[in-house]
Structure 1
């Protein structure tokens, strides 16, 4: 089974990881000649459109690499899926720190992420680069049971639902209804849920079957096109605009899939996080 999880970067990664399972992808660059990272200028791209944020990387993979993989995933240069397919004893020998992190995640299934120091975060990248053949296969075997993998869910305790979160987070409040209207034009997000969405995936981090990724991206870019038309003369572009839309749209895509197929299978993985932006 062919799997690739792309980590999205806006500057050259300090510790590149490019192997069977993982690859770094960099905005506004050609691919590194030594194979350390993929650049999104090598094919069809929207690299210069900063309003798409990390969705630029999703677009590049969608348009240029779709046929290469059976599962496609994305995390970020400072937010990574915590994937440790080796036995605990081996992990403890390689990294007592991350063996402890695995214990913490196992002991508290509601713990969705743990902040790391720069040194520990880079150590985790070394772990990603040290899977044995059998450990990589174990991960693939596990992944093959699921349609989509997302980070552990955020429960919006400080807001009643996604709509309230959007309207109280500094984003244009009036844009929410236009967003809902635009999604109603696209079957990928239908039917929209009857009840308010109270748990959420953030940051557009996921792994999914390639055919689902294609379906999601088609619906997302159709929604963005319609939303831009609805916003004309009412709301101006703002930084990372379509990135905010995408991370909300992913939730509605998954909920719509569950309505169509009650056995649609979603798993959750925790994240490790480096909160400082500019030291990786």
Structure 2
């Protein structure tokens, strides 16, 4: 199975992700000649539109890499899915901090993330970098049994979470109108749902055909929203986080057997170069 999970960066990192599954993708740079990271200036891109945040990376992959993979995923340079395939004894002996995380996430199944010190975050990334061929094959096989993998849900409903951070202002109205106008919702005669739990930080792993469908939806919604937002506002990236929530809810409503898995994730508590 062809798969890639891109870790989205805006500068060249000290520790690029190199391997069969994880890959560092940097917006605003050409690809590294040594192959240690990929840049989005080598193809169709919106690298100069930083108001879209991580969606610049996803747009590049959509336009230039879609046909290369069966599954496509995205993380943030300071936020990483907790993917942990190693035997318990190995994790306990080699990565005691990660073992602590495993216990915490297992004991609290509703915990959607942990804010980690950089040393703990680095330990987790060290573990990922050391995955064997067998480990990576197990991860690929596991992902292939799902259609979409996302974060564990945020504890607040989508509309309440937006109100908490931005207020129920005209921007919220624009978002709802934009989503409803897309062919994804209009063709179904459906209305975007906003009362479900979940805001997904533009992080997910999904089948390539579903990623294509979502990006078509996102692109149509952004064509409307871009004209409604003052230039320079980062709100477009926040819009995308809520658009994905609406998309996922609708897909699950119309496809009850869609296999969706929710993972916890780590957030590094300081900036990473």
Alignment of 1:92-107 (within 5 A): 92-107=92-107
Counterpart of 1:155 in 2: which secondary structure?
Answer: coil
Which residue number in structure 1 is paired with residue 253 of structure 2? 259
Q: Please identify, of 128-137 and 172-181, the stretch whose mean Cα deviation from structure 2 is larger.
A: 172-181
Alignment of 1:16-31 (within 5 A): 16-31=16-31
User: Closer, same or farther in 2 for the Cα pair 1:266/1:45, shift >3 Å?
Assistant: same
Give, in whole Å, the separation in 1 of the partners of 2:199 and 2:102.
21
Alignment of 1:126-145 (within 5 A): 126-145=126-145
Which residue number in structure 2 is paired with residue 274 of structure 1? 268
Which residue number in structure 1 is paired with residue 39 of structure 2? 39
Q: Please identify, of 91-100 and 217-226, the stretch whose mean Cα deviation from structure 2 is larger.
A: 91-100
Contact kept in structure 1, 2:150 and 2:200, CA below 8 Å: no
Q: Pick from 186, 209, 213 the counterpart of residue 211 of structure 1.
A: 209
Instruction: Give 4+ residue runs of structure 1 displaced > 4 Å after superposition.
Output: none
Contact kept in structure 2, 1:166 and 1:173, CA below 8 Å: no
Q: Pick from 161, 166, 174 the counterpart of residue 162 of structure 2.
A: 166
Deviations 1:177-196 (A, max 9, x none): 121111112243452356x4
Shift of 1:142: 1.3
Alignment of 1:232-243 (within 5 A): 235-243=229-237
Give, in whole Å, the separation in 2 of the partners of 1:192 and 1:138.
39
Gaps of 5+ in 1: none
Contact kept in structure 2, 1:15 and 1:122, CA below 8 Å: no
Deviations 1:76-127 (A, max 9, x none): 1100001111111112222111011111111110111112221221222111
Counterpart of 1:41 in 2: which secondary structure?
Answer: helix
Deviations 1:215-244 (A, max 9, x none): 000110111102334x2xxx4234322111
Contact kept in structure 2, 1:192 and 1:252, CA below 8 Å: no
User: Closer, same or farther in 2 for the Cα pair 1:106/1:14, shift >3 Å?
Assistant: same
Which residue number in structure 1 is paired with residue 176 of structure 2? 180
Question: Is 2:146 aligned against 1:146?
Answer: yes
Shift of 1:260: 1.6
Which residue number in structure 2 is paired with residue 114 of structure 1? 114
Gaps of 5+ in 2: none
Give, in whole Å, the separation in 2 of the partners of 1:4 and 1:172.
37
Which residue number in structure 1 is paired with residue 14 of structure 2? 14
Q: RMSD in angstroms over aligned alpha carbons?
A: 1.7
TM-score (norm 1): 0.91
Which residue number in structure 1 is paired with residue 73 of structure 2? 73
